[in-house]
Amino acid sequence: MLPIVAIIGRANVGKSTLFNRLIGKREAITADWAGTTRDRLYSSCRWNGKEFLIVDTAGLEAQWEEEDLTLDIQRQINIAIEESSLLLFMVDIKTGLIEQDLRAVKKIRFTKKPFILIANKCDHQKDNYLINEFYKLGVKEIMSISALSGKGTGDLLDAISQRIKKSRPQKQLQTESQTINVAIVGRPNVGKSSLLNKLIGQKRTVVSEKAGTTRDTARFLTTIKNKKINFIDTAGIRRRGKVGQTDKGVRPGQIEKYSVLRAMRAIEASEVVLLLVDVTEGITSQDLHIAGFALEKKKSIIIVVNKWDLAEKKQVSGYLSYLDSNINFLPFAPVIFLSAKTGQNVSGLFDLVFQAYQARFKRIKTAELNAKLSEDILKKPPIAQKNILPNIKYITQAEVNPPTFVFFTNHPQSIHFSYIRFLENRIREHWDFSGTPISILFKKKSD
């Protein structure tokens, strides 16, 4: 395990801004109001030859409208503190030392975890005198930084690398090519976070009946059957016209816009997409929009029908027919019926993920391709278009991830789209590409 460094502090002191600064990318959502961060966000950081995990957390003692949500979020902070080997305790020099900071440092000392006190928002040299009052917390050293501009963050990284144990050699670390990136996507409140918690066997993300609870993109790397899976939980993707609309003002809606962008990026960064649909609501236009985006990006797709425990007298065969009628552009996507709440059939999802991932990297030998598909083409050759008869000469697989097949013909532009569908069906009939889209290209080859 890599050493874990958790950033903690009261709400709106700049924890997420520092998190983004240290990892060198905008992964955590930042805003000028408290309560933006809810889940624990992890990302790796490397400095002075040492690698460690940085954890962003919600604000200590922050309050949300729902009492259960507040307790759950605070529990996430406690888990981050417990599993970390070093704490970065942030305070805000602009607001000065307040009662919440005093209670927070008592909590930190009770854990007996080593910590670094960081005075944030020290943007100018003249701000340094504001640090003095924080010595009342009983610390010998305070590091002044500006997470926004990056001032002092290099010294902070030096201090972190000096206080943590050396990580394992780089050659032992998991590489991206050995990890299956799985994005969990869907509309708000279909059970994405509940499914992630059930898949990894722990309550990693905050779960609530209220739509829009998840805002950031939460990642969790786990090992199943000796295979690495990087699960990515995303915010619910609403219809474009609904994004940004709220009942209580524009600010939460602005946050949601960033959440949707991160969900889209999660799809782009994944190999396999779990498309969650709610059996109690059926397929909506937004489900089709999400599925279409994943297909456009050539991602392997698994349709996950959640809340099956609430499906009254629904038959699997009947619902499969319903899916065929409403998501007819994903005939290759396997379907699984489960309940993220009860755990019903959740374990069966892993085999589908492995199968879809392996299909992305399947390579068919050229001789085998031509032998089998040539017979199909002879039985059903392409139809002449405008007195031009296309003649397919040769077939090869050009790429994997996703599988891409090239058909060489004398008139590529004369191949009708219905014949492309015919060729794809024949490829899938001969070889198992379940869950994975394939690309078919036509190139000109002269006689």
pLDDT, tens only, 37-62 = 445 577 778 888 888 888 888 777 65
pLDDT of 113 strictly over 80 = yes
Residue 255's pLDDT band, with cuts at 50, 70 and 90, is very low
| CA–CA gap between residue 428 and residue 270 (Å, rounded) | 23
pLDDT of 337 strictly over 90 = yes
Residue 246's pLDDT band, with cuts at 50, 70 and 90, is very low
| Percent with pLDDT over 90 in the chain | 24
Separation in Å, CA 22 to CA 54, 164, 423: 8, 16, 49
Residue 86 contacts residue 115 (beta carbons within 8 Å): yes
| Percent with pLDDT over 70 in the chain | 78
When the pLDDT of each residue in the chain is averaged and rounded to a whole number, the result is: 79
Question: Residues 6 or more apart from 229 whose CB is under 8 A from it?
Answer: 179, 180, 182, 221, 222, 223, 350, 353
Amino acid type, 273: V
- Comparing 4-171 with 174-360, is the CATH topology the same? yes
| CA–CA gap between residue 9 and residue 91 (Å, rounded) | 7
For 267-287, the pLDDT digits (tens) are: 887 899 999 988 888 887 777
- CATH number of this structure's domain 366-444: 3.30.300.20
pLDDT of 208 strictly over 70 = no
Mean pLDDT over residues 284-307, rounded? 86
Question: Residues 6 or more apart from 169 whose CB is under 8 A from it?
Answer: none
Q: Mean pLDDT check: name the lowest of 22-31, 72-81, 139-148, 386-395.
A: 22-31
Residue 159's pLDDT band, with cuts at 50, 70 and 90, is very high
> Containing H/E element for 426?
helix 417-430
Question: Residues 6 or more apart from 41 whose CB is under 8 A from it?
Answer: 16, 19, 27, 28, 55, 56, 216, 217, 218, 219
Mean pLDDT over residues 367-380, rounded? 92
Q: What is the per-residue pLDDT for 423?
A: 93
User: Which one has a higher pLDDT value, 313 or 214?
Assistant: 313
Residue 35 contacts residue 66 (beta carbons within 8 Å): no
Half-sphere exposure of 428 (CA within 13 A, CB side): 18
pLDDT of 64 strictly over 60 = no
Domains of the chain, by residue range, sit at 4-171, 174-360, 366-444
Residue 252's pLDDT band, with cuts at 50, 70 and 90, is very low
Q: What is the per-residue pLDDT for 371?
A: 92
pLDDT of 263 strictly over 90 = no
- CATH number of this structure's domain 4-171: 3.40.50.300
Partners of 408 in beta bridges: 394, 443
CATH fold label, 174-360: Rossmann fold (3.40.50)
- Assessment of whether the complete model's pTM goes beyond 0.85: no
